[in-house]
């Protein structure tokens, strides 16, 4: 029967032997394992946790462990231990000859059973007990024993104490024999480690207590005690301090244990203990296997794993850092638990992958990371779309409100209230938005309100601008003047048109008067002549008043222009000039670029120029500032002039030409409000 136990165990555990498969041979060769080592390996198939592994042994020494499904080496000592534990115990258990071990132990126990049983009988311990509390009753039931006990100071004497010691040691010894038999008999592949530990403990007790019985005074002195040693006993009158043999009574027969059998048992148990059955031994097998694998596998395996990890970090997770930064920026404005959880999961798995890349399946983790990255990106894009939409609404509202304010010298209270509301919601957009839908609704309402207040003002000033500004530009072509002079003279030029109209009107009236007089259709006398003179004087006065009023409104138009006028100028021109005034900063360049994009989006053509030290430069051509500004004013090409300065202002001019003047510091240039206004 013992020949079939190992085979049965292997079948139960799903283990089998086979020749080294070609794919494993190729795998080992790819890691530069020498062919002589590969040829010496014996493969064993092991099933653990529903997965199959191939363990490769060299003369019963585990060198490599391979996961059959992934084709990867198992390098972690703990994982190796868990996988090989059952097989290793089963393999070691199959080589244990339990029957021989039990036979030796029974023979050893029986070798001194007769003296032991006789001593039990002679001390009454075969039926009763001996202790101080019962005055060693067992000994009292045997007359000879009772007599000797009372001759040696009774229950506290040496003889009674030897009986008590014998009772205790025999009980422990008998229990140890039974534990040994039980543990060895019931040992199997599953409980081998546990039962072996019990057997080792029992064997230690058997060894110690059988030898200890020989020093009990109930038994005769052993042959190793010489007469010289006995002669020294007279120096020990007190039994408690004397060697045991000085007060040996020899009451029982001499013990006859066959210690050669015990030595045989010791040798067998030592061989069993040397087998990897205990967990610490199996762990050492796993540890040594891990070291053996590391010698060949780890350098190449490490480089391959590092390459895989780098591919994950640089390809799969190439956008990880930017996604993380962008997402947390969005989350600082809009709370979203889904994105937050996805980012935490992604970061956790990424960190785990980096810290454990040597022991995990990087292909699987790459797929997992890609999935979490895709989910987080999807949520981020949706959230960013919402936030970008809100920012676009806010920017559009800001542009409309700026236009509303620039359209009037004194904005209405309604516009001021809307501007205050927009300022509050803009601050919220830069902070934490608690209710997204409510914020979007509020932004839309502000936008509708701001749009409703934007219109082209109707006034005499705008009528004067509409009529006189083109005349002033045309007259500047006839009368060459510097740009600064043209700015001052423009209202006067406009007034000249009114004067011209007045002169024409006066001339028409005068011609009518002369024709009527020639044809004698009016009576010429002092009264009529006086009346006509009064009429001419009145007309002259009206002309003077008309010219003065025109100048007043032209001057007013020259000093202030609503932005709607500039918008009309942009709408009616194919070109829009973007002028960088002074020494441009990076922010100024960037703002100019944004304005140019806005101009292009309006199907207009931007012209970028720079103004510095009285010179106007466009491309490679440079002219004086005056010539440049006169040209664009006379051509009615609107301009956006950017100036880097400490004061923040937006000003619109539209009479002798049209321009939007924007001055501000770096933060204002970064905001670049003119780009919002050109829509």
Ordered DSSP codes for 303-315: HHHHHHHHHIIII
Confidence tier at 544 by pLDDT (50, 70, 90): confident
pLDDT for 540: 85
Q: What is the mean pLDDT of residues 188-204?
A: 90
C-alpha to C-alpha distances, 486 to 471, 472, 475, 655, nearest whole angstrom? 12, 9, 10, 10
- Mean pLDDT over 204-216 rounds to 93
Furthest C-alpha separation in the chain = 192
Of 93, 87, 11, 7, nearest to 46 by C-alpha is 87
Tell me which residue of 84, 527, 594 sits closest to 290, measured CA to CA. 84
Instruction: Convert the pLDDT of each residue in 562-590 to its tens digit.
Output: 888 888 889 899 999 999 988 888 888 89
pLDDT at 550: 80
Quick check: 10 pLDDT over 80? no
Using 50, 70 and 90 to split pLDDT, how confident is the model at 136? Answer: very high
pLDDT digits (tens, 9 = 90+) for 302-332: 888 889 999 999 999 899 899 999 888 888 8
345 pLDDT band (50/70/90 cuts)?
very high
Consecutive H or E run containing 128: none
Query: Rounded to whole angstroms, how far apart are CA atoms 566 and 564?
Result: 5
Q: How far is CA 45 from CA 13, 76, 91, 281, 652, in A?
A: 10, 19, 13, 21, 88
- Alpha-helical regions (H) of 573-651: 586-601, 625-634
pLDDT per position as a tens digit, 459-488: 787 787 778 788 878 888 888 889 888 888
Give the model's pLDDT for residue 410: 66
pLDDT of residue 659: 85
State yes or no: pLDDT of 211 exceeds 60.
Answer: yes
Q: For residue 370, what pLDDT is reported?
A: 92
When pLDDT is cut at 50, 70 and 90, the band that residue 8 belongs to is: very low
Proportion of the chain above pLDDT 90, given as a percent: 30
Neighbours of 462 (CB within 10 A): 19
Q: How many residues does the chain have?
A: 679
All residues at 6 or more sequence positions from 432 whose CB lies less than 8 Å from its CB, including other chains = 332, 333, 334, 335
Average pLDDT of 639-643? 91
Please write the tens of the pLDDT for every residue from 246-297.
767 789 999 999 999 999 999 999 988 888 888 888 889 889 888 888 888 7
How far, in Å, are 36, 37, 61 from residue 30 at the CA level? 15, 14, 22
pLDDT band at 12, cuts 50/70/90? very low
Percentage of the chain modeled with pLDDT above 70: 91
pLDDT, averaged across the chain:
84
pLDDT of the residue at 222: 81
Cβ contact 512:532 at 8 Å: no
Q: Are 446 and 425 in contact (CB under 8 A)?
A: yes
Q: How confident is the model at residue 15 (pLDDT cuts 50, 70, 90)?
A: very low
pLDDT the model gives residue 1? 38
Q: Determine the pLDDT at residue 4.
A: 39
* Choice between 532 and 13, residue whose per-residue pLDDT is larger: 532
Lowest mean pLDDT among 357-366, 435-444, 616-625, 627-636: 435-444
Q: How confident is the model at residue 174 (pLDDT cuts 50, 70, 90)?
A: very high
Please check the confidence at residue 169 and state whether its pLDDT lies above 90.
yes
Rounded CA-CA distance 285/289 in Å is 6
Taking only the tens place, the pLDDT of each residue in 519-541 is: 777 777 777 778 878 888 888 88
User: In angstroms, how far is the first alpha carbon of the chain from the final one?
Assistant: 98
Top pLDDT among 192 and 111 is at 111
What would the pLDDT profile of 404-442 be if each residue is shown by its tens digit? 677 776 666 666 666 656 665 666 666 677 777 777 777
pLDDT recorded at residue 163: 95
Mean pLDDT for the stretch of residues 488-508: 83
Q: How confident is the model at residue 337 (pLDDT cuts 50, 70, 90)?
A: confident
Q: Give the pLDDT mean for 445-453.
A: 70
Element (H, E) at 611: strand 605-612
> How far does Cα 651 stand from its chain's mean position?
49
Strand partners of residue 399: none
Q: Which H, E and C letters describe 209-264, residue by residue?
A: HHHHHCCCCCCCCCCCCCHHHHHHHHHCCCCCCCCHHHHCCCCCCCCCCCHHHHHH
Residue 188 to residue 177: CA distance in whole angstroms: 19
527 φ/ψ angles, rounded to the nearest 5 degrees: -70, -50
Nearest to 588 by CA among 666, 678, 675: 666
Higher pLDDT, 497 or 378: 378
The helix (run of H) or strand (run of E) holding residue 4 is: none
């Amino acid at each position: 029967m013992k020949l079939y136990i190992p085979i049965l165990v292997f079948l139960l555990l799903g283990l089998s032997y086979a020749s080294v498969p070609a794919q494993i041979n190729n795998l080992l060769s790819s890691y530069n394992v020498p062919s002589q080592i590969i040829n010496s390996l014996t493969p064993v198939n092991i099933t653990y946790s529903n997965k199959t592994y191939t363990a490769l042994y060299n003369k019963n020494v585990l060198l490599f462990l391979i996961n059959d499904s992934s084709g990867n080496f198992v390098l972690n000592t703990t994982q190796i231990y868990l996988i090989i534990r059952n097989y290793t115990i089963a393999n070691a258990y199959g080589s244990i000859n339990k029957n021989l071990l039990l036979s030796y132990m029974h023979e050893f126990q029986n070798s001194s059973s007769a003296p032991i049983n006789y001593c039990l009988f002679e001390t009454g311990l075969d039926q009763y007990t001996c202790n101080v509390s019962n005055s060693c009753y067992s000994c009292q039931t045997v007359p000879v024993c009772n007599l000797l006990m009372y001759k040696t100071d009774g229950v506290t004497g040496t003889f009674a104490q030897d009986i008590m010691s014998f009772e205790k040691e025999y009980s422990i010894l008998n229990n140890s024999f039974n534990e040994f038999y039980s543990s060895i008999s019931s040992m199997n592949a599953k409980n081998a480690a546990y039962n072996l530990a019990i057997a080792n403990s029992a064997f230690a007790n058997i060894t110690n207590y059988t030898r200890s019985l020989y020093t009990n005074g109930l038994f005769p002195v052993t042959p190793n005690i010489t007469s010289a040693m006995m002669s020294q006993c007279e120096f020990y009158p007190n039994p408690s301090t004397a060697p045991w043999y000085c007060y040996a009574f020899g009451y029982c027969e001499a013990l006859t244990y066959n210690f050669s059998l015990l030595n045989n048992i010791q040798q067998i148990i030592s061989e069993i203990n040397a087998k990897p059955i205990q967990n610490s031994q199996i762990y050492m097998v796993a540890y040594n296997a891990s070291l053996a694998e590391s010698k060949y596998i780890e350098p190449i395996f490490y480089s391959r794993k590092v390459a895989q990890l780098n591919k994950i970090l640089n390809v799969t997770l190439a956008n990880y850092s930017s996604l993380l930064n962008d997402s947390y920026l969005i989350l600082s404005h809009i709370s979203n638990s889904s994105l937050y959880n996805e980012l935490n999961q992604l970061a956790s798995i990424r960190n785990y992958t980096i810290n454990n890349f040597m022991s995990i399946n990087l292909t699987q983790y790459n797929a997992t990371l890609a999935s979490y990255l895709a989910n987080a990106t999807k949520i981020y894009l949706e959230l960013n779309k919402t936030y970008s939409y809100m920012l676009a609404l806010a920017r559009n509202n800001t542009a409309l409100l700026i236009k509303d304010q620039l359209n009037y010298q004194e904005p209405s209270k309604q516009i001021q209230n809307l501007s205050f509301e927009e300022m509050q919601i803009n601050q919220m957009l830069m902070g934490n938005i608690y209710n997204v839908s409510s914020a979007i609704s509020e932004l839309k309402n502000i936008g509708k309100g701001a749009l409703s207040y934007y219109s082209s003002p109707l006034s005499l000033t705008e009528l004067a601008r509409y009529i006189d500004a083109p005349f002033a530009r045309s007259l500047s072509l006839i009368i060459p003047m510097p740009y600064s002079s043209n700015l001052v003279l423009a209202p006067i030029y406009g007034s000249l048109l009114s004067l011209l109209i007045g002169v024409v009107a006066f001339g028409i009236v005068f011609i009518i008067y002369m024709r009527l007089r020639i044809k004698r259709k009016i009576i010429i006398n002092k009264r009529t002549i006086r009346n006509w003179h009064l009429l001419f004087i009145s007309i002259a006065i009206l002309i003077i008043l008309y010219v003065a009023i025109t100048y007043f409104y032209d001057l007013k138009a020259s000093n202030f222009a609503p932005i709607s006028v500039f918008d009309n100028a942009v709408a009616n021109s194919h070109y829009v000039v973007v002028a960088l005034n002074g020494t441009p900063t990076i922010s100024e360049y960037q703002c100019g670029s944004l304005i140019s994009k806005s101009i292009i989006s309006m199907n207009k053509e931007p012209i970028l120029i720079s103004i510095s030290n009285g010179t106007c430069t466009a491309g490679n051509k440079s002219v004086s500032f005056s010539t440049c500004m006169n040209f664009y004013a006379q051509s009615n090409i609107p301009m956006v002039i950017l100036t880097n300065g400490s004061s923040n202002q937006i000003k619109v001019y539209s009479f002798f030409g049209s321009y939007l003047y924007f001055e501000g510091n770096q933060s204002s240039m970064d905001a670049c409000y003119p780009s919002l206004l050109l829509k």
